[in-house]
Amino acid sequence: MSQNIQSVRGMNDILPGESELWELFEETIRSWLKSYGYKPIRLPIVEPTPLFKRAIGEVTDIVEKEMYSFEDSLNGEQLTLRPEGTAGCVRAVIQHNLAAQRPQRLYYMGQMFRHERPQKGRYRQFNQVGVESFGFSGPDIDAEQILMGARLWDDLGLDSIKLQLNSLGQLEERAKYRAELVTYFEKYATLLDEDAKRRLYSNPLRILDSKNSAMQEMIAGAPQLMGHLGAESMAHFEGVQQVLRDVGLPYEINPRLVRGLDYYNLTVFEWVTDRLGAQGTVCAGGRYDGLVEQLGGKPTPACGFAMGVERLVTLIRESGGDPEPEGTDVYLVHQGEAASRMAPRIAEGLRDQGINVLYNCGGGSFKSQMKKADASGALFAVIIGDDEASAGEVTLKPLRAEGTERNEQKRISVDQVADEIMNAFFDGDDA
Binding test (CB under 6 A) with ligand HAM, winner from 91, 114, 174, 228:
114
Q: 301 or 304, CB closer to ligand HAM?
A: 304
In the complex with ligand HAM, the residue whose CB is nearer, 87 or 342, is 87
Least separation in angstroms between CB 28 and ligand HAM: 17
12 vs 395 by CB, closer to ligand HAM: 12
Query: 220 Cβ partners below 8 Å, 6+ apart?
Result: none
CB of 84 or CB of 262, closer to ligand HAM? 84
Beginning with the edge strand found earlier in the chain, give each strand of the sheet holding 380-384 in spatial order.
357-359, 330-334, 380-384, 393-398, 410-413
Q: Give the per-residue contact string, 124-153, with ligand HAM (x = CB under 6 A; - = no).
A: --x-x-x-x---------------------
Which position among 199, 311, 334, 397 is part of the footprint of ligand HAM (CB under 6 A)? 311
Instruction: Calculate helix-pair angle for 19-35, 139-155, nearest 10 degrees.
Output: 140
Distance CA 234, CA 228 (A): 10
- Contact (CB, 8 A) for 351 and 357: yes
CB 305 within 8 A of CB 288: no
Q: How far is the CB of 260 from ligand HAM (least distance, A)?
A: 6
Mask: binding to ligand HAM, 237-276, rule CB under 6 A, as x and -? Answer: -----------------------xx---------------
Cβ-based burial of 132 (10 A; exposed 0-12, middle 13-18, buried ≥19): buried
User: How far apart are CB 88 and ligand HAM at their closest, in Å?
Assistant: 10
Whose Cβ is closer to ligand HAM: residue 30's or residue 122's? 122
Residue of 283, 313, 399, 421 interacting with ligand HAM (CB under 6 A):
283
Does residue number 122 form part of the binding site for ligand HAM (CB under 6 A)?
Answer: yes
User: Do 364 and 354 contact (CB within 8 A), yes or no?
Assistant: no
92 contacts ligand HAM (rule: CB under 6 A): no
DSSP state of 63: I
User: Within a 10 A sphere around the Cβ of 409, how many other Cβ atoms?
Assistant: 12
- Distance separating alpha carbons of residues 264 and 291, to the nearest angstrom: 8
57 binds ligand HAM (CB under 6 A): no
* Helices and strands in the chain, H and E counts: 15, 16
Binding site for ligand HAM (CB under 6 A): 84-86, 114, 116, 121-123, 126, 128, 130, 132, 260-261, 281-286, 288, 304-308, 310-311
